[in-house]
Amino acid sequence: MSHSSTAPFDAAAANERAARLRVMVFDVDGVLTDGGLRYGPTGEIVKTFDSLDGHGLKLLAEAGIVTAIITGRQSDIVAKRAADLRVAHVYQGVQDKRAAFEDLCAKVSVTADVCGHIGDDWPDLPVLTRVGFAACPANAHAEVKARCHWIAHLRGGEGAVREMCDFILRAQGRYDALLAEALA
């Protein structure tokens, strides 16, 4: 899989890192959504999620990978989507993503090297620079891209998460078995 020249990218190393994953952490705005913040007449935020991305999270869980969300915003919409996708751990309204990540690692008894994170902007850097597998959508900020092991071809909220989930499942040798189950 070839990627843009925005950051050095070593496909073999990214594959090895993805193969070790036991926990995958997701940012929301700009990753699970397109990053747009839409306010309705009552001031509530409306977010649009990609259904293919959502199924990717479900597939990770089926493969035994713990899923988590760490996001700076607080939203009932995110809580509902996380519940629909059976995301195991949800941290909302987080100002210090590093502290939330450390709490998550303690809760599930893992070290950072078997965790992954997909983020798109500077608030994600404290986690992205600590995990064993750092990923971002194609439209992530340049400073984030420069620090990631894997960069999606697709944009946040438009398939980047599913692209990454498929990459992880292939790296772990689970993709073909899950596909065979779907075809059965």
pLDDT digits (tens, 9 = 90+) for 31-44: 999 988 777 787 66
Mean pLDDT of all residues belonging to the chain: 92
Distance (Å, whole) CA 13 – CA 80? 35
Q: Which residue numbers in the chain have pLDDT < 70?
A: 1-8, 43-44
**List of residues 6+ apart from 178 with CB closer than 8 A:** 59, 62, 63, 169
Q: What is the pLDDT of residue 2?
A: 38
What is the reported pLDDT for 44?
Answer: 63
Write down the pLDDT at residue 97: 97
